[in-house]
Amino acid sequence: MKLVLIRHGQSEWNAKNLFTGWIDVELSEKGKEEAKKAGKLLKEAEIFPNICYTSYLKRAIHTAQIALCELGWEHIDVLRSWKLNERHYGDWQGKNKNEVKEKYGEELFMAVRRGYDTPPPPIEESEPDFEERYPVDLKYANIGYHPKSESLKDTRERVIEYFYEEIVPSLLVYGDVMIAAHGNSLRALIMYLENIAPEDIHKIEIPTGTPIVYDLTKELKIKNKTIYNH
**Catalytic residue ranges:** 8, 86
Contact criterion met (CB below 8 Å) for 91 and 124 = yes
77-80 β-sheet, strand order: 77-80, 51-54, 177-181, 2-7, 212-216, 222-227
Q: Does 8 appear as a known binding residue?
A: yes
**How far apart (Å, rounded) are the C-alpha atoms in residues 93 and 95?**
6
d(CA 145, CA 25): 20
State the angle between helix axes of 152-162 and 183-193 in degrees (0 to 180), rounded to the nearest 10: 70
Question: Does residue 93 have a known ligand-binding role?
Answer: no
| 76 DSSP assignment | S
How near is the Cβ of 2 to ligand 2PG at its closest, in Å? 25
Question: Was 94 annotated as part of a binding site?
Answer: no
Q: Which residues of 177-187 are buried (b: 16+ CB within 10 A; e: fewer)?
A: bbbbbbbbbbb
Segment contacting ligand 2PG by CB under 6 A, of 14-22, 53-61, 102-110, 156-164: 14-22
Q: Which residue is nearest to ligand 2PG (CB)?
A: 20
Interface with ligand 2PG, residue 109, by CB under 6 A: no
In the complex with ligand 2PG, the residue whose CB is nearer, 151 or 184, is: 184
User: Residue from 184, 185, 188, 201 that binds ligand 2PG (CB under 6 A)?
Assistant: 184
Which of 2/7 has CB closer to ligand 2PG? 7
Q: Please, which residue, 21 or 209, has the CB nearer to ligand 2PG? A: 21
SS3 of residue 177 by DSSP: strand
Site membership for ligand 2PG, residue 183 (CB under 6 A):
yes
Identity of the residue numbered 24: D
Per the annotation, does 89 bind a ligand? Answer: yes
- Site for ligand 2PG contains 94 (CB under 6 A): no
Residues lying near ligand 2PG in the complex (CB under 6 A) are found at: 14, 19-21, 86, 89, 113, 183-184
